Amino acid sequence: MAAGSADKFSVLLPTYNERENLPLVVWLLARTFQESGNNFEIIIIDDGSPDGTQEIAEQLEKIYGSDKILLRPRPRKLGLGTAYIHGMKHATGNFIVIMDADLSHHVSLYFIKQKEGNFDIVSGTRYKGNGGVYGWDLKRKLISRGANFLTQVLLRPGASDLTGSFRLYRKEVLQKLMDKCVSKGYVFQMEMIVRARQLGFTIGEVPISFVDRVYGESKLGGNEIVSFLKGLLTLFATT
């Protein structure tokens, strides 16, 4: 059934060195949920950030209440996919929002899209409709476009943007996908869509204008690019 007033949204928010971003993204999320009248919880999965992110999360937990902000840290960086799996263990909502803390997403659009089409998954896309990217240099744009082009050619996923970091899932759908997925890093996002197509789940897309980070620096580096390419080839070989 489509999202309604009786639903609860669990936001899984992996963090690493997001001390400056975290208070603002939590405030924006809380405001959006409160204005829409939706019940929510924000689960912060901090991977041992050395910049004090966890201390900020503890303060936010006191401000908003432990029923709204749940700090569920891990001792070190263990991969994005495992962060979501860890967060799922503590989620009590029937809808799951997965995102990062870089303030580049528009939460309410996903609720509207889910209600309109009763989708199993709603994903943001930078490559459809009036979607786009702002604030990136040419190198990063080329990497993103190239990665998306390769995934479209090799995997034919039925979705226009596989590497975005914001999605809304039905909880039971996300659990089934996690049981199938083997990726742990950035490839996790891509594999989730590929597995969703294989299992016949419905996917809605919301064109988004992706604006680069407000604070901090992107964590996309050479290791992540190599990991992405390896994961892409692995998925191609197994699909």
- Confidence (pLDDT) at 223: 66
**Both structure tokens of 97:** 């929002």
**CA pair distance 162, 37, nearest whole angstrom:** 30
- Confidence (pLDDT) at 160: 87
Higher pLDDT, 219 or 199: 199
Higher pLDDT, 149 or 92: 92
**CA pair distance 221, 156, nearest whole angstrom:** 26
> Among the ranges 10-14, 127-131, 153-157, 186-190, which has the highest mean pLDDT value?
10-14
- Confidence (pLDDT) at 117: 94
Model confidence at 135: pLDDT above 70: no
- Confidence (pLDDT) at 236: 74
Under DSSP, is residue 10 helix (H, G, I), strand (E, B) or coil? strand
Mean pLDDT across 153-158:
81
pLDDT category, 71, cuts 50, 70, 90?
very high
CATH class of 8-238: alpha beta
Mean of per-residue pLDDT scores for the chain: 84
Cβ neighbours of 89 (radius 10 Å): 8
Higher pLDDT, 232 or 90: 90
pLDDT category, 81, cuts 50, 70, 90?
confident
Cβ neighbours of 221 (radius 10 Å): 10
DSSP per position, 168-204: EEEHHHHHHHHHH----STHHHHHHHHHHHHHT--EE
**For the chain, domain boundaries:** 8-238
Nearest to 231 by CA among 145, 162, 136, 170: 162
Model confidence at 211: pLDDT above 80: no
- Confidence (pLDDT) at 56: 97
Mean pLDDT across 73-99:
90
Q: Order of strands, edge to edge, in the sheet holding 95-98?
A: 69-71, 39-46, 8-15, 95-98, 167-170, 121-125, 203-207
Backbone angles phi, psi at 137, to 5 degrees: -80, 170
